[in-house]
Structure 1
Amino acid sequence: MKKIKVIVDRPIGYKDEFGNIYPINYGYIEGIMAGDGEEQDAYILGENKPLDCFEGFLIAYVRRRDDNEDKWVVSNFTFSVSEIKEQINFIEQYFDSYIELCESSE
């Protein structure tokens, strides 16, 4: 599996303009463009301290039915759909989305 580097712009503890505090690291993948014309957004699972950047494996996609801003989920560990959903629920509860696990290519 190829490693993916995520630049973290909203680390654990980040407070957004709506007052939400991020319980996981969240950022973007340089050089990979998403459907919204911005660099691809990504959640980082399994790292419990604020990060500036992270290299890990793509483990899942968060597919949004209502727009083209799918998110990627990156980690060095394996998570079930329910575990991923629990960790990303702070944002994804506002969207019509579903989680698609990646097939391991090891």
Structure 2
Amino acid sequence: MEVLLGKEVDVVVDRPLGSKSPNHGTVYPLNFGFLPKYFTREKPIKAYVIGEFEPLESFTGYVVALVERLNKPGCKVVVAKDKDKYTKAQIEALIEFREQYHQSTVVTEV
């Protein structure tokens, strides 16, 4: 997964900013979707989109972080328009709404 860090990717947004999770009722404070060209265990890699403040259907940006869950297989990515705009602490704060329920670690460098 580390090969994706810094790479430009396309995201299909299936949970736009302000939408509710179908499973938990959580309101998404950011856009969330998947990378249609990248798979793990035969499923598209899921992606948080940060720094965009309106609901989106799709987005092209750079992978600025990996989110590895220690209690669940697989990995998510964090995608932003700019490669170097966010610190690790800022990224952790932006995705905490979801990751607080998991043992996860954010990787921003290889």
Deviations 1:22-68 (A, max 9, x none): 00000000121123x31010000100100000000111101111122
1:87 deviates by: 0.7
RMSD of the alignment, in Å?
Answer: 1.4
Q: Say how many residue pairs are matched.
A: 102
Q: Following superposition of structure 1 onto structure 2, how do residues 64-103 of structure 1 map, counting pairs within 5 Å?
A: 64-77=69-82, 78-102=85-109
The percent of aligned pairs where both chains have the same amino acid is 33
| 2: CA distance, partners of 1:55 / 1:102 | 20
The one-letter code matched in structure 2 to 1:86 is A
| 1: CA distance, partners of 2:76 / 2:109 | 13
Q: 1:82 to 1:34 in 2, by over 3 A?
A: same
- Residue of structure 2 aligned with 1:43, choices 44, 48, 53: 48
1:73 deviates by: 0.6
Q: 1:76 to 1:102 in 2, by over 3 A?
A: farther
Give 4+ residue runs of structure 1 displaced > 3 Å after superposition.
Answer: none
- Name the SS for the 1:28 alignment partner: strand
- Name the SS for the 2:94 alignment partner: helix
Corresponding residue for residue 31 of structure 1: 37
Deviations 1:57-82 (A, max 9, x none): 11110111112221101101221111
The one-letter code matched in structure 2 to 1:95 is H
Question: Which has the higher mean CA deviation after the structures are superposed, 45-54 or 73-82?
Answer: 73-82
